[in-house]
Structures are given as C-alpha cells and as structure tokens.
C-alpha cells in the first residue's frame, strides 16, 4: 500500500478549456493514515505518484463509502456534501514532497502552510510561479484573464458589475482558511500560503506573503516578504520591511528571532537573532558597514552586517552626528568580536 505525504478533497474553478484556476481544500491531510490512503486508492484507482484526479460524481458515493469503512467519518461526510457541488471536484494525492506539477498540487501545498500543518520552508514549492496561472479574482470567484472581457460585458448586459478585486497568481488566504486566534485588519494583504501564528495581529498596513509568516504572538504593521519568518513576541513597526528571497535577498533566508523589534519604516536584509532592535528609519542590508561599539560606546571594529547575521541581543542604530550605522549588544562587544573572528 502506497503511503502518502498529503492528500486533499477539493472544489475548484476551471476555465473554458477545463484548465484549473484554483482549488479549495476544506480538510487537507498531512501524512494520512494507511486506512485512508487505501480507501482513496481503491475508490479512485490510484496507483501511486503525485496526481490530481478529477472526481466524477458517480465516484463520490464509492469514495464516501470507502472512507466510512476506513473509519474516516469526517471525510466520508465531506464526500456526501460534495455531491451538492455544481463546481468540478478533485482529489489530490501526493506520494512525495516534490515540487508541484499542477495547480491542484500547488494549492494543496499552500493550504498545508496556511492550515499550520507545515511551517514556511517545510514543503517543496520549487517552480510554484510557473505552475500557478495569473487569475482575475472577482466577486464571483476566479476568472481566466482571457475570458474576463466577455464576462464583464455579460455582467453589464445583466445590469450588474463584475468587481475585479485583484489580478494575481495568489488569492487572499481568508477566502480559503482563517486560522484560529488571529486578527487581520485588511484580509487582502495576507496571501494564501502565509503561516499566521496564533495570537498574531496583522494591522491595516501589515502584509504577509506566501511561504512566510509568524510563529506565534506578534504585531505586524510592516511587510513580511516571501520566505521570511518572524519569531514569537516580535513586533514589525509601521511601514517596515523584510527582504525576501524573491526581491533582492538571493538565496539567503531572512528571519526575525523572538522578542525582536523592527522600527517604523526600518528594515532588514540579514537574519536577526532573538531580542534584536533595528531603530526606526534604518534599513540594514548584508553589505551595510557597521561600527561595533563596546559598553562605553567606544569603537571596537568595523564589520559588515552579514557578519552579525543571526546574533542575539543587538541594537542597530544610526549616529545622528556622524551618519555611521552602529551596533551595540547586551553581550560584551569584545566577546562578540572574538566570536566573529573564531567563526571565520
């Protein structure tokens, strides 16, 4: 019996060519039981690999019965509910965590992250942009870009307006899942595939991209770019930014540790450790030249910001007289300096 990495029963949208635009998975599964895997395999004639199998309505009863016999009553009931659907249905079965090969596979992986089943970087999303179509997200759901003009015209002829909220490869997360214990002031600013930890507040100017997010209680008034994670108890001030791997960060994975603060209109292009502060208005990049200060505010050495990546208890500030970017630490600056040279 094939053991599955993940599976999901989904309701989706297709264009006039029967190509998938998006898929909604109400109850995605990670590492499903052997009994559930067997029920899906037998009911859908699944023989292995990563597949998105469109479910004909004559298969729904067969799958529902197989799942009931396997003790998966919730999934069996979901199948019964799916019989009422007027939209196409799909069962996506992933034997391995390899890069997505279809729209249903990509959407299942994004669901796994937003359902907090896997953390950012916890599932293979290689090639995702090449798989996802650019879609017009409207008040009646996803619409193929090429099919949008006649749909808009028909709406006008019917005395209505087809409201296009955005044109993007990613929908907003809350149309698919609302994680427990979060506040999101503007839901359009959190993409599907974001990981929003319990206790997090995302204010109106906050933004969370896919494959990124907060690990626990955080206040987000700035931008969490793709691939960036923010630790428990950290605060991103209004208008601040984190450099993502898709926009200038290269292959460096940026993260913010626990109980850290990035001030308003500030930013970081290096990973920050725990209890770090970047003062308001200051943007740190990997190449930023820093003056490392001791506890008497005396210069110890000049270093590049990349040399301090991931270090704890750092304060980054700009000297208003000299214009030099300085770094102070709760640890002795001499001890930190020795640590840096030891690791070279």
Along the 344 residues of the chain, how does pLDDT read in single tens digits?
A: 579 999 999 999 999 999 999 999 999 999 999 999 999 999 999 999 999 999 988 889 999 999 999 999 999 999 999 988 999 999 999 999 999 999 999 999 999 999 999 999 999 999 999 999 999 999 999 999 999 999 999 999 999 999 999 999 999 999 999 999 999 999 999 999 999 999 999 999 999 999 999 999 999 999 999 999 999 999 999 999 999 875 544 567 899 999 999 999 999 999 999 999 999 999 999 999 999 998 778 898 999 999 999 999 999 999 998 899 999 986 554 455 566 556 44
Among residues 298, 294, 297, 308, which one has the least CA distance to residue 341? 308
Strand partners, 7: 29, 93
pLDDT of residue 126: 94
Options 2.40.50.100, 3.30.1490.20, 3.30.60.70, 1.20.120.1750; CATH for 138-168 is 3.30.60.70
State the pTM of this model. 0.93
Q: Is the dihedral of CA 122, 127, 129, 133 positive or negative?
A: negative
| Residues catalogued as catalytic | 221
User: Three-class SS of residue 300?
Assistant: strand
Helix axes 34-44, 57-69, angle to 10 degrees: 150
What distance in Å separates the CA atoms of residue 25 and residue 193, rounded to the nearest whole number?
13
In three-state secondary structure terms, 97 is: coil
The whole-number pLDDT of residue 233 equals: 96
CATH topology for the 173-342 domain: UDP N-Acetylglucosamine Acyltransferase; domain 1 (2.160.10)
Selecting from 3.40.50.150, 3.30.930.10, 3.30.70.2010, 3.40.50.1370, what CATH number does the domain 6-130 have? 3.30.70.2010
Q: What is the rounded CA–CA span in Å between residue 54 and residue 44?
A: 9
Buried b (16+ CB within 10 A) or exposed e, 282-307: bbbebebebbbbbeeeeeeeebebbb
Domain range list for the chain: 6-130, 138-168, 173-342
Q: Give residue 309's pLDDT.
A: 94
């Amino acid at each position: 019996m094939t053991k599955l990495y993940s599976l999901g029963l989904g309701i989706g949208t297709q264009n006039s060519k029967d190509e998938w635009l998006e898929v909604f998975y109400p109850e995605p599964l990670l590492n499903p039981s052997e009994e559930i895997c067997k029920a899906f395999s037998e009911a859908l004639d699944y023989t292995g690999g990563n597949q998105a199998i469109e479910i004909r309505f004559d298969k729904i009863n067969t799958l529902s019965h197989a799942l009931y016999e396997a003790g998966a009553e919730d999934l069996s009931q979901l199948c019964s509910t799916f019989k009422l659907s007027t939209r196409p249905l799909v069962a996506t079965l992933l034997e391995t965590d390899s890069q997505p090969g279809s729209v249903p596979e990509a959407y299942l992986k994004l669901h796994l992250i937003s359902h907090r089943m896997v953390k950012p970087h916890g599932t293979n999303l290689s090639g995702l942009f090449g798989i996802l179509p650019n879609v017009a997200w409207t008040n009646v759901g996803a619409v193929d870009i090429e099919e949008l003009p006649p749909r808009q015209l028909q709406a006008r002829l019917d005395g209505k307006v087809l409201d296009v909220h955005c044109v993007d490869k990613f929908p907003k997360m809350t149309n698919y899942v609302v994680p427990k214990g979060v506040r999101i002031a503007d839901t359009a600013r959190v993409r599907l595939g974001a990981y929003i930890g319990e206790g997090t507040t995302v204010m109106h100017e906050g933004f969370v991209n896919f494959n990124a997010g907060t690990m626990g209680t955080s206040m987000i008034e700035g931008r969490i770019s793709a691939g960036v994670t923010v630790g428990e108890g950290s605060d991103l001030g209004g208008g601040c930014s984190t450099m993502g791997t898709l926009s200038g960060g290269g292959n460096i994975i940026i993260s913010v540790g626990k109980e850290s603060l990035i001030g308003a209109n500030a930013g970081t292009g290096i990973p920050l450790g725990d209890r770090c502060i970047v003062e308001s208005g200051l943007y740190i990049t990997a190449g930023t030249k820093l003056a490392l200060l001791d506890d008497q505010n005396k210069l110890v050495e000049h270093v590049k910001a990349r040399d301090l990546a991931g270090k704890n208890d750092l304060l980054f500030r700009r000297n208003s007289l000299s214009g030099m970017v300085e770094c102070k630490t709760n640890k002795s600056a001499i001890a930190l300096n020795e640590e840096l040279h030891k690791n070279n």
